[in-house]
Amino acid sequence: MAAERQIGHDSPMHQFVIGRFGEFHVFGLDASLSKAAVFMFAAMAVVVLFLTLTVRGRALVPGRWQAVTELWYVFIADMVKETVGGEGRRYFPFVFSLFSFIALCNLIGMLPYSYTVTSHIAVTGILALMVFLLVTVIGFQRHGAHFLSFFVPKGVPAPLLLLVVPIEVLSYFMRPISHSVRLFANMTAGHTMLKVFGLFVVQMGVFGILPLALIVALTGLEVVIALLQAYVFTILTCLYLNDAIHLEH
Amino acid sequence: MPQFWLEDFIPQLFWLVVAFALFYLLLSRVTLPRIAEVLEARQSRIASDLDKAERLQAEAREALASYEATLAEARNTAQTLLAERLAGVTAEADRKQAALAERLQKEATAAAERIAGSRERALADMSHVAAELAQSAVERLIGVRLGVAEARAAVAQGGGGGG
């Protein structure tokens, strides 16, 4: 197994190898620590420490750092309020956690020699599945079997329903896939591209200055994408929550 | 692609679930309420300040109204006082003028009476003198000594007959 899993250090894909720091099992589950686990905890620690330390003063007139925290909080609170409405308040901590985790994983991944947790489909897939399960449970909890009417659009002629209902069901189950692949693909593509241009810099000698300039520009773009994809993932979560809470289709 | 190495899926799932559960609990129980508290404190402070400002403004408006009322009242009082005084002064002047006119009238009347008295007295004297004159004239002309009464009657008759 290990033999065919070897990837050269000069491969653009090498950055996505998470490795493992020894084998470790919990209740028979493979819980080996890896780069992925370390950076997950790092991102979460950064979020918790930043949020806690910046509002420690509880200043009435916020300083620079407290303003960042408040802006961050209000940004997500407004997003939830606008897309889900008043009933969304209960899910605000979940949405906030999701956004903060993804945003910080993406941003930490932009640091040299670091690793991007969200570049693995395993991670984004679990996050998307979590959202999918939560939304489905909320839907059935709130509306019972009536939630199934979500798949039957109003005002569609009966014969067409034969076609529309399966499409609706399929699109519902496609949600976690598109939700997770969007984030994973963006992160993987961005980091792979940076690495490829990085290899060009080495190979082109003096002319490597050209791809180097490109890398500088692309790094800026990737920082924007890091935040944008966290936002997209979060707003989609809000939209799905809204669908489940307000059964209007 | 290392992303599809299946043996890495379970460890990532395990740690993600553990870490995210911990993260969610920490944020929802401790960190987010603390931030909400700070925001609410500011909100309530702003609300109370606005409230206070509104109250003070109302008070200022009230004070201005009462000041204006006082001013109007003072002006009214001054006007009535002035009018009263003016009326008093006018009445006094009228009264004095009337008194003066009366006194002048009285004096004029008295003077006229005095003049009339003097005239009568003068006339009486004159008829007396005329009677004496007539007595002496008749005595001299015809040597008849007229009585005083006769002479007076004759003078009075002559005077009355267009003398």
- pLDDT, tens digit (0-9, with 9 covering 90-100), for B44-103: 999 999 999 999 999 999 999 999 999 999 999 999 999 999 999 999 999 999 999 999
Q: Are the CB atoms for A109 and A118 separated by under 8 Å? A: yes
Q: What local confidence, expressed as pLDDT, does residue B147 receive?
A: 79
A28, part of any domain: yes
Map tokens 């009347």 to a residue.
Answer: B109
Map tokens 């996505």 to a residue.
Answer: A16
A25 forms bridges with which residues in the sheet?
A: A30
Is beta strand A29-30 parallel, antiparallel or unpaired with respect to A25-26?
Answer: antiparallel
Domain count, chain A: 1
A129, part of any domain: yes
Average pLDDT for residues A206-233, to the nearest whole number?
Answer: 93
- Chain B touched by A33 (CB under 8 Å): yes
A128, part of any domain: yes
**How close does chain B come to A214, measured CA to CA in Å?**
25
Top pLDDT among B24 and B127 is at B24
Top pLDDT among B32 and A248 is at B32
Which residue type, as a one-letter code, is found at position A166? P
Q: Which chain A residue lies closest to B24 (C-alpha atoms)?
A: A97
Q: Which DSSP category does B3 fall into?
A: G
**How close does chain B come to A97, measured CA to CA in Å?**
6
Residues A98-126 as b or e (16 or more Cβ within 10 Å = b)? bbbbbbbbbbbbbeeeebbbbbbbbbbbb
pLDDT tens-digit profile of A121-136? 999 999 999 999 999 9
Instruction: Check pLDDT > 50 for residue A229.
Output: yes
Instruction: Check pLDDT > 50 for residue B162.
Output: no
Interface test with B, best of A4, A6, A16 (most B CBs within 10 A): A16
A222, part of any domain: yes
Domain that holds residue A45: 14-245
A6, part of any domain: no
> CB-side exposure of B13: number of CA atoms within 13 Å?
15
Phi (first) and psi of residue A29, to 5 degrees: -85, 140
- Chain B touched by A100 (CB under 8 Å): yes
Tell me the two tokens of residue A36: 């992925």
Q: Are the CB atoms for A233 and A243 separated by under 8 Å? A: no
- Chain A touched by B43 (CB under 8 Å): no
Q: Which DSSP category does A183 fall into?
A: H
CA-closest candidate to residue A54, choices B39, B43, B44:
B39
The model's confidence at residue A50, banded by pLDDT at 50, 70 and 90, is very high
A159, part of any domain: yes
Q: What local confidence, expressed as pLDDT, does residue A249 receive?
A: 52
Q: Which chain B residue lies closest to A77 (C-alpha atoms)?
A: B36
Q: Are the CB atoms for B35 and A69 separated by under 8 Å? A: yes
Which residue type, as a one-letter code, is found at position A194? L
Instruction: Check pLDDT > 60 for residue A4.
Output: no
In this structure, the number of other CB atoms found within 10 A of the CB of residue A161 comes to 14
The model's confidence at residue A115, banded by pLDDT at 50, 70 and 90, is very high
CA-closest candidate to residue A132, choices A172, A184, A186, A91:
A172
Phi (first) and psi of residue A25, to 5 degrees: -125, 140
A185: helix, strand or coil = helix
Q: What local confidence, expressed as pLDDT, does residue B9 receive?
A: 86
A3, part of any domain: no
Q: Which DSSP category does A208 fall into?
A: G
Identify all chain B residues contacting A36, using CB atoms and an 8 Å cutoff: 8, 11-12, 15
Distance CA A153, CA A149 (A): 8
C-alpha dist (Å) from residue B103 to B52, B106, B108, B115:
75, 5, 8, 18
Mean pLDDT score of chain A: 90
Which residue type, as a one-letter code, is found at position A123? V
| Closest by Cβ to B42, choosing from A18, A48, A60 | A60
C-alpha dist (Å) from residue A107 to A211, B123, B134:
22, 146, 161
Top pLDDT among B160 and B78 is at B78
Q: Which DSSP category does A30 fall into?
A: E
Phi (first) and psi of residue B22, to 5 degrees: -60, -45
A2, part of any domain: no
CA geometry: angle A25, B28, B24, nearest 5 deg: 25
CA torsion sign for A144, A149, A150, A151 is: positive
| Out of A73-87, A91-105, B85-99, B147-161, least confident range | B147-161
Interface test with A, best of B7, B25, B27, B42 (most A CBs within 10 A): B27
